[in-house]
Each structure stands twice: as structure tokens, then as C-alpha cells.
Amino acid sequence: MTILKKPLTIKIIEEIIFEDNNLSFAEIEIPKNSFLDGRYIKEVYREISQNYNIIIIAIVDKEMSENVQFVTKGINHKIDAGDILIVVGDKDDIERFKIDLETIKF
């Protein structure tokens, strides 16, 4: 069964990267005192997906190293200022999310 899913996964990734659409990946650094600073991935994952229509793929913890931790592995990482979220979504939605991270304080 896994083999059947791979072509679909590859097709989706190719469309995101190569097709003329508005989807993109972004690395977003968490600003100090933003509405995500001090909250946990599992606590905000659905909220971010619903409010911004973007998906958190992974997080890079500034204190742990430059290693990427994929959210799909079930981690419940505490988000701190300086951490980097790797997201995918519409470019406009990602931009709106970035603006809110800078302006909405927790």
C-alpha cells in the first residue's frame, strides 16, 4: 500500500515546487512575545491551520541545534522566541501569518 501513496506524494510536492501556483514553503522565526511564544505545537496546530490555512511541517529549536523536528512524529514541542517554524501554504496566507506573529502579542 505504501508504494501506491508515493506517486501521489511526489505529485503534490512537484506541484508545490514546480507548478505556477501560489503555494510555497516558508521558514518563519518566532518573534519574542508573539502569540505563539511559550505555547506548544499540539495546542496551536489546529488553530493555525484553521485561522491561516497553512500547515506546520516542522520546527527548528534554537536551543537544541539546527536539527529539524518534523511535527508528524507526534512531538509536542514548546515554541520559544527564535525557534523557526517550517510551513506550507498559500503565499498570501503565510504573509498574513507572519504579520500577525509580529503584531499580536501573547
Q: How far is Cα 67 from Cα 77, in angstroms, rounded to an integer? A: 13
The pLDDT tens digits for 24-62 are 889 999 999 999 999 999 999 999 999 999 999 999 988
Instruction: Place domain 22-103 in its CATH homologous superfamily.
Output: Regulator of K+ conductance, C-terminal domain (3.30.70.1450)
Strand order in the sheet with 23-29: 23-29, 84-90, 54-60, 68-70
- At 38 the pLDDT is 93
- At 92 the pLDDT is 94
Cβ–Cβ contacts within 10 Å for residue 3, how many? 6
Contact (Cβ atoms closer than 8 angstroms) between residue 41 and residue 77 = yes
Region of 72 (left: φ > 0; alpha: ψ -120 to 50; beta: rest) is: alpha
Higher pLDDT: 32 or 10? It is 32
Its pTM stands at: 0.78
Answer whether residue 71 shows pLDDT above 70. Answer: yes
Residue 17 banded pLDDT, cuts 50, 70, 90: low
Answer whether residue 11 shows pLDDT above 80. Answer: no
The pLDDT mean for the chain works out to 84
All 3 cell numbers of residue 74?
A: 507526534
- At 68 the pLDDT is 82
